Amino acid sequence: RTEALGQSSRVACKRRLLPGSSPSSLAVLPPPWLFSLLTGCPPSSLAVLPPLQVTSGETPVERHQWGDTSGVTPVERHQWRLQRRHQRRRQQWRPQQTDPRIENRSPIMAKLFRAVILGPPGSGKGTISGRIAHRFALTHLSSGDFLRENITAKTEAGILAKTYIDRGLLVPDHVITRLLLTKLEEMTRHSWLMDGFPRTLAQANALNSTCDLDLVISLNIPFETLKDRLSERWVHPASGRVYNLGFNPPRRQGRDDISGEPLIQHEDDKPEALVARLRHYKDQVKPVIDLYKSKSILHTFSGTETDRIWPYINSLISTKIPSISQTVTQHAPLP
């Protein structure tokens, strides 16, 4: 029984040994058999020993923390609960584990990155923009996709734009500028890549008045190559996924790889609209190219194959922003 009492008092000692309490105050307590030998008290009298008092650094709140609620007043209990609540909040507010892509690009993205990609219809703007957006985590904005969304939604601008697009003509400057600048206002906190805007000097000046561009990529692709590509292009209207019967054909003919839904050919990819688009492009874009050249932000890439041009664009952008593929170990294949 004495041994049992000794055990329980040692357990009690351990439980009450709180940070700040002095272990020396426990060292003076002899084991029960020695206590009984020294004091002459029969071992049975140990049962009525007063509870162990460890005073140094121990408050009722701290005792409560160790499960000992004796002597804790309602005020102290309230204090204890407040303490716990603060602890829990501190844990909740600890920064969440961040996406390594965001973490790694944060020093760069402290300054937002804004780029434009120029090129004739079918030059691969959409394909290359998809790769840049994927690799460098930029938001891809496409004027063509944006117009098509408006056409599908039958907005006023969309209905008007359709009458131009179907004829292979550019949508009037004031319509496209208003649409896109409104969109850009929502993007003030994002880094983005604009595909297909600006196409005229008036559009370039409007863009210039709202933001400073860091980089302009211009694609220079031979006319014959463009004609061949566009007549073979099919798209999945719901997602905007683009296929080319020669370059990246769908797995099942005429069907989207992911949804299995039917693919369509844009009205403006049909031969009659196509030639007009290519003819107009050159005249319209020349002053835009000259403007960006004068600002020393223009980089031109020439070739007949996107896959050959891409490594050059990739290394150019890598010098400006870190590629997320260097930091994320696993990523989906490039589009």
Q: Which of the choices Mg ion, ligand G5P, none does residue 16 contact, using the CB cut-off of 5 to 8 A by kind?
A: none
**Beta-sheet pairing, 241-244 with 233-236:** antiparallel
Residue with tokens 């509870």: 51
Q: Which of the choices ligand G5P, Mg ion, none does residue 60 contact, using the CB cut-off of 5 to 8 A by kind?
A: none
- Give the x-and-dash track for 285-314 against ligand G5P (CB under 6 A): --------------------xxx-------
- Name the residue type at position 297: I
Binding of ligand G5P at residue 277 (CB under 6 A)? yes
Binding window for ligand G5P (CB under 6 A); candidates: 2-10, 28-36, 94-102, 241-249:
241-249
Q: Which of 122, 158, 250, 322 binds ligand G5P (CB under 6 A)?
A: 122
- Give the x-and-dash track for 137-156 against Mg ion (CB under 5 A): -------x------------
CA atoms in the 13 A half-sphere facing the CB of 22: 8
Binding of ligand G5P at residue 218 (CB under 6 A)? no
Which string of DSSP letters, residue by residue, matches 185-209? Answer: HTTTTS-EEEES---SHHHHHHHHH
Minimum CB–partner distance for residue 195 and Mg ion (Å): 6
Cβ atoms of 44 and 50 within 8 Å: the answer is no
| Number of residues near ligand G5P (by CB under 6 A) | 34
Binding of ligand G5P at residue 233 (CB under 6 A)? yes
Binding of ligand G5P at residue 246 (CB under 6 A)? yes
Q: Which of 119, 122, 126, 198 binds Mg ion (CB under 5 A)?
A: 126
Q: Which of 272, 301, 314, 316 is nearest to 124 (CA)?
A: 301
Binding window for Mg ion (CB under 5 A); candidates: 98-106, 121-129, 162-170, 218-226:
121-129
If the CB atoms of residues 103 and 305 are measured against ligand G5P, the closer one turns out to be 305
Beta strand ranges found along 199-257 (DSSP E): 215-220, 233-236, 241-244
Which string of DSSP letters, residue by residue, matches 129-180? Answer: HHHHHHHHTPEEEEHHHHHHHHHHTT-HHHHHHHHHHTTT-PPPHHHHHHHH
Rounded CA separation 235/254 (Å): 9
Binding site for ligand G5P (CB under 6 A): 119, 121-127, 143-144, 147, 164-165, 169-171, 176, 196-199, 203, 229, 233, 242, 244, 246-248, 268, 277, 305-307
